[in-house]
Amino acid sequence: MNTQTNFPEVFGALADPTRFAIVERLLNEGDLPVGQLAEPFKMSAPAISRHLKLLESAGLIERRIEKQWRVCALKKERFADLHQWIERYRAFWNTSFDRLETLLDNQQGEDNDSSR
């Protein structure tokens, strides 16, 4: 399997709200240069730069140089790995949801967790 994927490291990269938002944005808007990625946050450029470096080390993004900009892009492989990982849990979460299953089958009009 994907023995080269260090899942705790990847999850650690996604564990910060800023980094998570960056990843989500790259999914929704496609590749973006560092400056534009930084713009929505009221955080210094060096802080963003370090977040991006961490995402890159975890293999979630890559940076390429384009003229005077560093453009960030999601790396497909890592997301494929994450998908494979969570798929292993399908047999568990997808069975006998009992009274929860109707709710979820409705395709998430809302969530159903009452634990918090």
Partner DNA sequence: TCTTTAATTAACCTAATTGTTAAATGAAAA
Partner DNA sequence: TTTTCATTTAACAATTAGGTTAATTAAAGA
- Among positions 1-30, residues that touch DNA (CB under 7 A) are 12, 15-16, 18
- Least CB distance to a copy of itself at residue 41 (A): 14
Query: Applying CB under 8 A, does 42 fall inside the site for a copy of itself?
Result: no
| 25 contact, one of a copy of itself, DNA, none, CB 5-8 Å limit per kind | none
Q: What one-character-per-residue DSSP string does 78-97 give?
A: HHHHHHHHHHTTHHHHTS--
Tell me the CA end-to-end span of the chain in Å, nearest whole number. 35
How far is the C-alpha of 37 from the C-alpha of 3, rounded, in Å? Answer: 31
> Long-range contacts of range 13-18, CB-CB < 8 Å, 24 or more positions apart?
13/54, 13/55, 13/57, 13/58, 13/60, 14/60, 16/51, 18/43, 18/47, 18/48, 18/51
- Among positions 35-94, residues that touch DNA (CB under 7 A) are 35, 38, 42-54, 63, 65, 67-70
**Is the CB of 67 or the CB of 99 nearer to a copy of itself?**
99
Task: Give residues in contact with a copy of itself (CB under 8 A).
Answer: 1-5, 7-9, 11-12, 14-17, 19-20, 27, 57, 59, 62, 74-84, 86-90, 92-94, 97, 100, 104, 107-108, 111-113, 115-116
